[in-house]
Amino acid sequence: EFCVFFFQAEDGIRDAQESRGLGDVYKRQVPQMMLYQAIAEAGVRVVLTGEGADELFGGYSCFGGFEQPGQFHACSGYMLDELHCSQLLRVDRMSMSQGVEARVPFMDVAWVASSTAIHPDHKLWRHGRPDKALLRHIFQDIVPSPALHRTKLAARAGYGAQWVRALHAELAVRGEAYLERLVQVGVGAVMG
């Protein structure tokens, strides 16, 4: 089922305190924890995530500038090697902190092997093809159209990392009293 969740800044303020005890896995931890909390509140206990798809099929903007298949392959390989200590760790910690099991089907050993065997020419952003065009084609009869054809947001826009970084910085400097003030007057009044 395709769902959309909306969050208020006050939700992030409340969850920033809780997320600090989970380690500084990555700057997107608070919004992602908020998402898994909403998923848990909806009664869902297992979700499929897209981690690995961008790395395998060229979904990041840096892939758009590659002209040669070797460039794509080198960048993709490096990113895949780094997933275990960044995105996959964050997904596991944030989902499990809310009692939700996040499965990452794009990281299945057989899927990775078959995806990396596809020549990069089929993944490069050429001739007006959008990012992950091949992957979108594969899932066109499975994934709902709004999700399949949405424009990719940069991580800072998709997760709202800018306000999260600002919130964590202010909390580190001003302490718990500042957190209480944020809750009382709202993030926009204090940080805006």
Report the relative pairing of strands 46-48 and 101-103 from DSSP bridges: parallel
* H or E element at residue 103: strand 101-103
pLDDT of residue 165: 60
Tell me the per-residue pLDDT of 107-146, one tens digit each, with 9 for 90 and over. 999 999 999 999 988 888 877 788 888 999 999 999 888 8
Does residue 186 surpass a pLDDT of 50? no
The residues that bridge with 102 in the sheet, in sequence order, are 47
- Structural tokens at position 129: 């093809």
| Angle CA 59–95–146, to nearest 5 | 40
Amino acid letter, 6: F
For residues 79-86, give the mean pLDDT.
87
Interatomic CA distance for residues 164 and 52, integer angstroms: 24
Q: Which H or E element spans position 46?
A: strand 46-48
CA pair distance 22, 179, nearest whole angstrom: 18
pLDDT for the residue numbered 16: 61
Q: Quick: pLDDT tens for 39-82.
A: 999 899 999 999 999 999 988 888 888 888 888 889 999 999 98
The whole-number pLDDT of residue 6 equals 64
